[in-house]
Chains A and B, each alone.
Chain A
Amino acid sequence: MTAHLTRVKARMSIHAHRKVRGLLEGEYASMHTGRSMDFNDLREYVRGDDVKDIDWKASARSRALLIKRYAAARKHTILMVASTGRSMAAMNDLDVPKRDLAVMVAGVVGYLAVRHGDRVSLAWGDSVEQHQMPPASGELNLERRLGAIHDNTLPTGPPADLTAVLKYVARTVRRRTILVVISDEYTIDPELSAVLRRLTVQHELLFVSIGDLDPTTIHSNGNVVDIDSGHVVPEWARYDEALRREYAALLTGQATNMRRELDALNIVHETVHDDASAIRAVLKLLERHRHAGRR
């Protein structure tokens, strides 16, 4: 039952021990503006306010009734949005499916949140249907959410459609959350850009891209099948040096474009290639986010 989370914890302790511990011990908290029981500001009393909140000393100084305001001591909600179309069931490299990487990213983010006492919710979907699981705290609930990502990403599923999932989130999620998008999109088209812009108004947005296996770098005799079309990637296309170079150039160009688009939207963005880089990327993401995406 706790297979996913156990794996995440094991990887975290292997790859980024000190940093993770640092985050767990409080640095993570600093990314949230609200600290419970902290004084925030004063405002004039209006009828209906609790009399207990009146700051008498300040009222005496200013000759008006003033109310102390505290930042709400609320629990944060982390909303993980995972694209679970069939392209996510493809391979990230020869050993690791992209699905496992998505679970790893969600696991790292979720584990940090759970340890901090925050609640984790999940939205996932593809071009056909979208679902969500409500915010819940605790490792068991996180494990269920990780399991949902894992089990709903199937090679036989419908095509991925991040725009649809994000629109669904925009439609159904009312509360303000820290929204972690986990997808394998490689371009930001205008529609996706629009829905991202819409979501940044409501949420704190973190964007994690999961890379694809480059078919021209597979040195195996087996068949290579494009999961979207079901076509076999022809063997002659896999061993051509010129094609490999051109394809690499294309991928680099697309990655640059994507980064530019997301920067323009002021969304913190990281690309993940393997387990180790998944943890590093999440930490970097959180760090950059703490610095308002300016680093």
Chain B
Amino acid sequence: MELKWTWLAITLMVIVLVWLVVWLFPTPFRRTPRNAVLVAHAARLRRIPRFRVLARRREFEMLARVVAVLFLLGGTILLSSRLTSTDSHQPDVSNRDIMLCLDVSGSMTEYDEELAREFAKISEGLDGERIGLTIWHNASVTVFPLTDDYDFVLEQLETAADKFASYDYDYVAGTLVGNGNSGSLISDGLVSCVDRFDRPDEERGRAIVLASDNDPQGKPIFTLPEASDYAAEHDVVVYGLGTREMSVLPGAVEGFTSAVENTGGTFSVMGSDGSTNSIAEGINELEAARSKEPARVTVIDEPALGTGLVSAGVLLVVLAGIRRRA
């Protein structure tokens, strides 16, 4: 709250003050009225009870008028000097980044539709985060980068789920590079997902939802512990989603779990009770780092107070006038 034309307010206040001083100080501006009729012993009049009744009534009326004048003056000064408020708007939209990291290897195809739908469910339970989708086989492809446009996110996840359901290999084109003797490289996928986070200099809560069966074929560039360390290094929390068949593969669950817990995340099995819920809760618990967007400063006229005061003053004047008539 500040005044746009402070000088006007000060000038008006000075004028009002001078007027009050002239009004209140009897000399030398105000003397006993001239041409007055002099009467003696009029003090007797003041002792009559009826006089006191009238005086109290008059007092009340005058009080109303004084308040009315004060309201009018204050309101007018406020209005004329334009009371404004500067609204420094700090848009704290997204404070967390979540990358959905999807394994689209052959062993995962049957789960990918389910996963995409789960992601859609997860993203519905989120608020203010940026969400991105990256799919990988032995190479990573960004389906859509981190964004806070949830309509777009849901639409994309819907599309992804449909594509996975129809085994549309065009959709996953580019995730399998080379002759196909390597694939489902979870560690490389994780590293490239970690690299998908932008604004590295900002303190944001970062999370990856990594869905895989941890069944890498061929030789990855990074080992899974290396990838996990890399994620931890970048303060990225990884939440693991495994398949039910993973338990068959030796060491798959253990390796995935340790990699995930190394970053502070959790591992859960897809489709098991409350898996999506636990992940959504975990994401919410992520530190809500404020995004450092510049504050938007808006100057807004605040006529409400002045208008209210003036209106109240006018109302009081009218009421006092009616009372006087009555």
Residues of A within 8 A of B (CB): 86-91, 94, 97-98, 155, 184, 186, 212-213, 215-216, 218, 220, 222-234, 236-237, 240, 242-243, 246-247, 250-251, 254
Q: A233-B45, A240-B50, A243-B48 in contact; A184/B40 too (CB < 8 A)?
A: yes
Cβ-defined contact, B35 with A223, below 8 A: yes
Q: A234-B58, A240-B54, A243-B51 in contact; A223/B37 too (CB < 8 A)?
A: yes
Q: A212-B39, A218-B37, A234-B58 known; 19 other A-B pairs, CB under 8 Å?
A: A155-B38, A212-B41, A213-B39, A213-B40, A215-B45, A220-B37, A222-B36, A224-B42, A225-B38, A226-B42, A228-B41, A231-B42, A232-B33, A237-B45, A237-B54, A237-B55, A240-B50, A243-B48, A243-B51
Query: Which residues from chain B contact A91 at a C-beta distance below 8 Å?
Result: 37-39
Cβ-defined contact, A94 with B43, below 8 A: no
Contact with A along B20-61 (1 / 0, CB 8 A): 000000000000110111111111110011110011001000
Cβ-defined contact, A223 with B39, below 8 A: no
CB < 8 Å: which of A86, A87, A232, A251 contacts B36?
Answer: A232
Cβ-defined contact, A236 with B54, below 8 A: yes
Query: Which residues from chain B contact A228 at a C-beta distance below 8 Å?
Result: 40-43
How many residues of chain B get a CB closer than 8 Å to chain A's CBs? Answer: 20
Chain A min CB distance to B34 (Å): 8
CB < 8 Å: which of B33, B37, B42, B54 contacts A243?
Answer: B54
Cβ-defined contact, B41 with A223, below 8 A: no
Query: Which residues from chain A contact B51 at a C-beta distance below 8 Å?
Result: 237, 243
Cβ-defined contact, B42 with A215, below 8 A: yes
Query: Which residues from chain B contact A243 at a C-beta distance below 8 Å?
Result: 45, 48, 50-51, 54
User: Could you jot down 5 A-B contacts, CB within 8 Å?
Assistant: A213-B37, A222-B37, A225-B36, A233-B39, A254-B44
Cβ-defined contact, A90 with B32, below 8 A: no
Query: Which residues from chain B contact A186 at a C-beta distance below 8 Å?
Result: 41, 44
Interchain CA distance A279-B182 in the complex, whole Å: 142
Interface of B is mostly: mixed
Query: Which residues from chain B contact A234 at a C-beta distance below 8 Å?
Result: 55, 58
Cβ-defined contact, B40 with A98, below 8 A: yes
Interchain CA distance A28-B42 in the complex, whole Å: 38
Cβ-defined contact, A227 with B33, below 8 A: no
Query: Which residues from chain A contact B37 at a C-beta distance below 8 Å?
Result: 91, 94, 213, 218, 220, 222-225
Contact with A along B213-232 (1 / 0, CB 8 A): 00000000000000000000
Interchain CA distance A227-B43 in the complex, whole Å: 10
* Residue among B36, B43, B55 having the largest count of chain A Cβ atoms under 10 Å: B36
Chain A min CB distance to B33 (Å): 4
Chain B min CB distance to A220 (Å): 7
CB < 8 Å: which of B32, B43, B49, B55 contacts A225?
Answer: B32
Q: A90-B40, A212-B39, A215-B39 in contact; A246/B33 too (CB < 8 A)?
A: no
Query: Which residues from chain B contact A87 at a C-beta distance below 8 Å?
Result: 40-41
Chain B min CB distance to A2 (Å): 27
Q: A234-B58, A236-B54, A237-B54 in contact; A212/B32 too (CB < 8 A)?
A: no
CB < 8 Å: which of A90, A222, A247 contacts B48?
Answer: A247
Cβ-defined contact, B58 with A236, below 8 A: yes
Chain A min CB distance to B262 (Å): 90
Interchain CA distance A147-B50 in the complex, whole Å: 41
Chain A min CB distance to B64 (Å): 15
CB < 8 Å: which of A89, A236, A246 contacts B38?
Answer: A89
Closest to A218 in B: B37
Chain A min CB distance to B88 (Å): 54
Query: Which residues from chain B contact A227 at a C-beta distance below 8 Å?
Result: 38-40
Cβ-defined contact, B39 with A90, below 8 A: yes
Interchain CA distance A212-B42 in the complex, whole Å: 9
Interchain CA distance A160-B50 in the complex, whole Å: 28
CB < 8 Å: which of A226, A242, A246 contacts B39?
Answer: A226
Interchain CA distance A220-B38 in the complex, whole Å: 13
Query: Which residues from chain A contact B55 at a C-beta distance below 8 Å?
Result: 234, 237
Interchain CA distance A251-B45 in the complex, whole Å: 10
Query: Which residues from chain B contact A236 at a C-beta distance below 8 Å?
Result: 54, 58
Query: Which residues from chain B contact A220 at a C-beta distance below 8 Å?
Result: 37
* Residue among A94, A223, A226, A240 having the largest count of chain B Cβ atoms under 10 Å: A226
Interchain CA distance A187-B36 in the complex, whole Å: 26
Cβ-defined contact, A230 with B32, below 8 A: yes
Chain A min CB distance to B131 (Å): 76
